Amino acid sequence: MSKVYDVIIIGAGPAGLAAALYAGRARLSTLVIEKIKDGGQIVITDEIENYPGAVEGESGPSLIKKMVDQVNHFGAEKVFDTVVDVELEGDIKVIKGSKAEYQGKTVIIATGASPKPIGCPGEKELTGKGVSYCATCDGNFFEDFDIYVVGGGDSAVEEAMYLTKFGRKVTLIHRRNELRAAKSIQEKAFANPKMEFMWDTVIEELKGDDILTSMVVKNVKTGEVREIEANPEDGTFGVFVFIGYDPQSKVFEGKVNMEHGYIVTDEDMKTNIPGVFAAGDIRVKSLRQVVTAAADGAIAAVQCEKYLG
């Protein structure tokens, strides 16, 4: 008979690792299932300044390594496997991976959400080197630089206005000739003297060796293609992408309550299924940051302990 864990955590980003830390310290038998590598989105972040206690020069990988070391110290087990199906009802939950099947009395879903990329050449290579998906994380790195924001919805316009605190100018690039954001948000953006708009435009390519230095844009109506280069004195500029997120929740569809692909929980991370919790970016929530993911994980683990008690 396979081992029945007290807690199975799906995902080893900050939420999953924080949950594993708290579960391990509570002497609960804990298994972390991760698909590819520890860390989630944070491992593509070169520098972290907004996580409490992070030292100067802290990077995503260095912070995750500390979290992983803590988790290992408190005895949580880990496997690398891809979850293909789940059975969450009943006292014993079954997590089916492509390699094996795992059983647990409680489950914490911490699979996260990934920002949708532009999908153009150079984007992946320059992520964290001029290309970002988080204004709160990286905005201050572009103080007095030119900043471009891709998108036209509420998030894109709100984040663009936030970035005007840092950039000398913020240009919103949108593939249509009008924004999709709420009218009240649009009015604020149009009234902001540091905001400019590039309509009917898409980014075709991002260029640079170790840092973003130029981008190729195309007007979708006229077909005109041109290259925008960084100010020579700056040497770079920022491109922030806000065209939506992809919650990593497909395998849980029909198993727990969701809204637009995100799992619905209460403030104690409880889903509608007893013994099943969700933490981090996979949840319906207002702020997706490392610090809120870690807090979610801690709460979820403590609630698992109470549930088991």
pLDDT in tens, 126-168: 999 999 998 888 999 999 999 999 999 988 999 999 999 999 9
d(CA 50, CA 55): 10
138 catalytic? Reply is yes
120 catalytic? Reply is no
Residues 210-219 pLDDT 10s: 999 999 999 9
DSSP symbols for 198-245? ETTEEEEEEE-SSS--EEEEEETTT--EEEEE--TTT---EEEE-S-E
The arithmetic mean of pLDDT across residues 281-286, rounded, is 94
The arithmetic mean of pLDDT across residues 268-294, rounded, is 95
pLDDT-based confidence at 237, cuts 50/70/90? Answer: very high
DSSP lists the bridge partners of residue 245 as: 115
The arithmetic mean of pLDDT across residues 199-205, rounded, is 98
The arithmetic mean of pLDDT across residues 25-31, rounded, is 97
**Which residue out of 134, 146, 281, 304 is catalytically annotated?**
134
Q: How many Å is the Cα radius of gyration of the chain?
A: 21
To which residue do tokens 């969700």 refer? 278
Rounded percentage of the chain residues whose pLDDT exceeds 70: 98
- Weakest mean pLDDT among 51-60, 170-179, 197-206: 51-60
Over the chain, what is the mean pLDDT? Answer: 94
Residues 83-126 pLDDT 10s: 999 999 999 999 999 999 999 999 999 999 988 999 999 999 99
**DSSP-based helix, strand, coil % in the chain, nearest 5:** 30, 30, 45
- Weakest mean pLDDT among 26-40, 252-266, 290-304: 26-40
DSSP symbols for 23-76? HHHTT--EEEEESS-TTGGGGG-S---SSTTPPTT--HHHHHHHHHHHHHHTT-
**Which residue out of 6, 81, 137, 304 is catalytically annotated?**
137
| Residue 40 pLDDT | 76
| Residue 186 pLDDT | 95
The arithmetic mean of pLDDT across residues 223-234, rounded, is 97
**In this structure, what DSSP letter does residue 142 have?**
G
| Residue 253 pLDDT | 96
- Whether the model clears a pTM of 0.85, i.e. scores above it, the answer is no
Closest CA to 203 of 221, 215, 211: 215
**Which residue out of 6, 38, 81, 138 is catalytically annotated?**
138
| Residue 1 pLDDT | 46
134 catalytic? Reply is yes
Rounded percentage of the chain residues whose pLDDT exceeds 90: 83
Residues 45-94 pLDDT 10s: 666 777 888 888 787 888 899 999 999 999 999 999 999 999 999 999 99
For residue 135, what are its two tokens?
A: 């204004």
d(CA 116, CA 299): 28
Check whether 44 has a pLDDT greater than 70: no
The arithmetic mean of pLDDT across residues 228-255, rounded, is 95
- Weakest mean pLDDT among 58-62, 181-185, 234-238, 290-294: 58-62
For residue 102, what are its two tokens?
A: 């795992």
300's CB contacts (< 8 A; 6+ apart) are: 15, 19, 108, 110, 269, 277, 278, 279
